[in-house]
Structure 1
Amino acid sequence: MQAVMTLKKFTLSAVFGLAVTGYSISTATASVTTSPANHLLSTLKYVELEAEQGDTNMQLFLGRAYLEGSNGLKSDTLKGLYWLQKAAVDMPEVKTMIGDLFKAGQVLPKDSSQAVEWYTKAAEEGSVPAMVELGGYYASGASGQVDCANAIKWFNEAANGGSLESKRNLVWLYATCSDARVRDGQRALKLAKQVLSRSGTGDAGDYDNLAAAYAACGEFRAAVKAEQEAIGKLENTNTQRFVKFEQRLELYKQSQTMYNASL
């Protein structure tokens, strides 16, 4: 099984240590008024004035400083979030960032509903990472139950935006979803073959997906062959993944036997 894409690990340094596309949020952007760090308190009102007047770099800088409790400022979650929300108005990247913060629960309280709200806003503005997060959220059952329709919706959007992992996830969902209204073996098979046609693909997970797609179409002989291929590509056979692959292989073999007996 190509497991539904897990939500990425979050570290504050990974978010704030890199530039948001088109906007640097390093301390260098505010070097005139805030470096060295102990200068910030004496010039804080000017920095905040620039931020209030719409300087996105300053908004991001203050959001970081308050959330981290850095640059001489005491940690203040409400102020940090206030400035990030200011910066997020026209920036889906920052909306995605806020979703990450609520999801991780490190510098903001862990809150799945808030994370989904921010991811949805960002996704609706074209953020592919936010689309991926939403797809994973609905596919994992984190909403209370697996919601294949919404998972497929957002993975489709992400796949159209260039996310190969989302296309892989779509194969599995179309092939295995318990909701017959959205399960579609033929579409799963078409997508699985598209993935395998891409350079750098063809690992164990891709063939496991292919096997599931064949099985969803009732092509159990092909499913057995694809699952055997998947097992052969596993480097470590002493894993839970190997056990699951073997279990699926046996199911495909049994289904093939039952199908042949009915002929």
Structure 2
Amino acid sequence: MPAVMTLKKVVFGAMLGLAVTGYGTAQASNTTSPTNHLLSTLNYVELEAEQGDKNMQLFLGRAYLEGTNGLQADPMKGMYWLEKAAVDMPEVKTMIGDLFKAGRLLPKNNDLAVRWYTAAAKEGDVPAMVELGAYYASGATGKVDCGNAIKWFNEAANGGSLDSKRNLVWLYATCADERMRDGERALKLAKQVLKRDGTGDAGDYDNLAAAYAACGEFRRAVEAQEVAMDKLEDTQGQRYAKFEKRLELYRQNQTIFTASL
């Protein structure tokens, strides 16, 4: 069945990148799109997918969700194939979480997004850990959950996420839940971030200032906040106003207690 084998090669090339890097990052080009082949070989493609071909499962899941490659949009069939592909593939679980979070192709549903992110994170997927940390730190549950936010940002930071380490600095320094605040840890992490190449922007020094304040080192907090403000190009925007407000708090020997990231 040469037509099926040709389609399989095309689908494999198109979906391999998707399986590795996440939903929406791999697109079959117009010249290699299997649109003209899929309908005539759909039974064979679905047979390959049922027999465990992950790339075929991913391809069919996406095609049915989007209504592309000659298929009519069918979210139930799309989810059927994506759920099959998600078995033992945490990055696909994260992909499904992204779809529920965005409300694109599937109805927006934060609870289902968190459920899929959690499953992926428990299997070691760093992007899912980042999403969970942001979810709990944003107050999406009705209030900021510093404990769970710190838990997942720590996991993500250990997996190489520098932004998660930045978020940890802020949470340890400013979390309204005093049980979770840890100024010394915040300061240690802030200094680690600043030692990395490509760091040292306004946000990094804003974090450093908050960490110094959490440790009661207000003179250094003022110095770091002034550096942060010098690094901002827009001196009229909301961010500058927030930085300026923090600077005044540090000058009055006051720390920050924030509601969210």
Contact 2:16/2:55 (8 A) holds in 1: no
Q: Deviations over 1:189-211 (max 9, x none)?
A: 01001111111111110000000
The letter for the 2-side match of 1:145 is K
Cα distance, 1:16 vs. partner? Answer: 7.2
**What is the alpha-carbon distance in structure 2 between the residues aligned to residue 22 and residue 177 of structure 1?**
32
**What is the alpha-carbon distance in structure 1 between the residues aligned to residue 69 and residue 78 of structure 2?**
13
**How many residue pairs align between the two structures?**
237
Contact 1:25/1:61 (8 A) holds in 2: no
Cα distance, 1:49 vs. partner? Answer: 1.0
Match in the other structure for 1:259: none
2:143 aligned with 1:159, yes or no?
no
Cα distance, 1:43 vs. partner? Answer: 1.8
Q: Deviations over 1:115-147 (max 9, x none)?
A: 000000000001000000000000000111100
**What is the alpha-carbon distance in structure 1 between the residues aligned to residue 68 and residue 156 of structure 2?**
35
The letter for the 2-side match of 1:19 is L
Match in the other structure for 1:201: 199
Higher RCO, 1 vs 2 (CA within 8 Å, ≥6 residues apart)? 1
2:222 pairs with 224, 235, 238, which one?
224
Match in the other structure for 1:112: 110
**What is the alpha-carbon distance in structure 1 between the residues aligned to residue 171 and residue 97 of structure 2?**
24
**What is the alpha-carbon distance in structure 2 between the residues aligned to residue 141 and residue 16 of structure 1?**
35
Cα distance, 1:53 vs. partner? Answer: 0.6
Contact 2:205/2:227 (8 A) holds in 1: yes
Match in the other structure for 2:209: 211
Structure 2: where are the runs of 5+ without partners?
A: 1-13, 255-261
Match in the other structure for 1:192: 190
Cα distance, 1:255 vs. partner? Answer: 1.6
Q: Deviations over 1:43-88 (max 9, x none)?
A: 2111111101101111011001101101111000010011001000
Cα distance, 1:21 vs. partner? Answer: 1.8
**For 2:18, what is the secondary structure of its paired residue?**
coil
Q: Deviations over 1:81-108 (max 9, x none)?
A: 1100100001011011000000010101
**What is the alpha-carbon distance in structure 2 between the residues aligned to residue 16 and residue 209 of structure 1?**
39
When normalised by structure 2's length, the TM-score is 0.86
**For 1:150, what is the secondary structure of its paired residue?**
helix
Match in the other structure for 1:77: 75
Contact 1:16/1:64 (8 A) holds in 2: no
Note the 1:88-127 alignment, pairs <5 A.
88-127=86-125
The letter for the 2-side match of 1:21 is V
Cα distance, 1:22 vs. partner? Answer: 9.0
Match in the other structure for 1:21: 20
Q: Which runs of 4+ in 1 moved over 6 A?
A: 22-25
Match in the other structure for 2:234: 236
The letter for the 2-side match of 1:243 is A
Match in the other structure for 1:9: none
**What is the alpha-carbon distance in structure 1 between the residues aligned to residue 117 and residue 220 of structure 2?**
39
**What is the alpha-carbon distance in structure 2 between the residues aligned to residue 156 and residue 22 of structure 1?**
22
Contact 2:99/2:106 (8 A) holds in 1: yes
**What is the alpha-carbon distance in structure 1 between the residues aligned to residue 219 and residue 124 of structure 2?**
41
Cα distance, 1:42 vs. partner? Answer: 2.4
